[in-house]
Amino acid sequence: MYFKQITTPGLGCFSYVIGCPGAREMVVVDPKRDIQDYLDISREMGMKIVHVIDTHVHADHVSGAQELRSRTGCDIMVYETSPVSYEFTPLKEGMKLEIGNAGLEVLHTPGHTPDALSLLVTDFSRGNEPWMILTGDVLFVGDIGRPDLVGDAKLDEQVTNLYNSLYVKLAKYPDHLEVFPAHGAGSLCGRGMSSKPSSTLGFERRYNPMLGFDSFEDFHLAMSQNFPERPKSFTHIISTNANGAPLLERCPIDLAMEPDRFEERMLDGAVVVDVRDTAAYAGYHIPGSLNIGFDPGLANWVGMVVEPSADLLLVVENKDDYDRMRTELHRIGYDNIYGYLMGGIQAWVYSGRPVDRLSIDSAQDVQNCLDHDKPVSLVDIRTPGETADGIIPGAKIIPLNDILSGKFDLPEDGHHIIYCATGYRSNIAASYLQQHGFWNVRTLAGGYVAWTRAGYAVEK
């Protein structure tokens, strides 16, 4: 049996290839939208892609199932009651597939979504009992799937489903069964996933806090609160996956734009995303642009800030950066990417067009303001878990998600210094505030980490 886990950095997504070189066939499970990795494996191993299986209708990334069917002619398989509008082969509870020495058995494991499934995997060359289970989004390493994405109306039903899937259905399988989930650290489909890519049922039963409740009532209480903020992109991604994602060949043609054309698109309403690092953006940037720099979690932050239907323009250092950014955006269903600024920000500057700057204060600058009672508005945009360990004296806590949702009360003409942990998120918030008329917003270089390392934090 051939088995390979493929990681999508940033989104925390795992997909899988299961096959048999002897039978010259393979199955792809939960594919990412850019499918070259699977095509390469197919070619290198001499295995034809015969099936692609999605364990559920994903909310955080666009499935590559349609791309694979278009390129290889394979069929798409999902659970029989999945709310999809495209043609598919229905999978049912207990159904078994054999690919040479590899065997797959379908388990209906609702909870993250009502139509989610898991796959028991057997390598018949080693034995006749399952070796591993692909759990989709029902069970992660160190966590479980969040049940709230289908809406508050079905939350109680989903919590019950999740409990039954984890505490009843999976309970009958042995401790040594290896667990391979659809997500790991970085995903927003759970709350506390480990960075480890796999586990065993036994280890999770012992150390996963979500599998250790003594009663359904305790489990229900824990699963009814404190979920990560739902990005703007999730509803769009669910709809895209349910309807069948458009093929990437239908997306706008790559276009390197001169400043004149770039500005025309801006005036037509396109959103400008500048992916340079925080210091480069601060030096000068296009007025009204958003700074969301390259980072392992970039796709999640774009999903928080930008509407999925928006027309996008990118400011990048070079064509390679544009290609990387385009791939990241396509993975989460942002397809209206109309091009990038040819020559980068320098071309804009040399064209004589206006630029904005984002002032950056050092930890010493901020401490000097505090020492001399200078009027300053410090805004801590970290999560409650982060701020519980301490804040800069006098800072107002407004989590980034509240900034992006407009849930804050700050005067537009105030001298606001925004800070996060290291400076990445503060640039997102500051560029967003600049876009909305806050002309005197600044950031703290290095964030709270720099503040503490400068020796200003008060010991608890």
34 closest CA partner among 339, 324, 239: 324
- Structure-block tokens of residue 192: 């506390």
List C-alpha distances in Å: 149 to 152, 167, 228, 230: 8, 21, 11, 8
In 3D space, the residue among 45, 41, 44 whose CA is nearest the CA of residue 15 turns out to be 41
Annotated catalytic residue, options 13, 20, 189, 420: 420
- Cα of first residue to Cα of last residue in the chain, in angstroms, is 55
Tell me the sheet residues that pair with 89: 77
Token pair, residue 66, equals: 């349609």
β 359-361/377-380 pair status: unpaired
369 in active site: no
Q: Decide: residue 33, CB within 10 A, 0-12 exposed, 13-18 middle, 19+ buried.
A: buried
What is the rounded CA–CA span in Å between residue 49 and residue 52? 8
Residues with a known catalytic role: 420
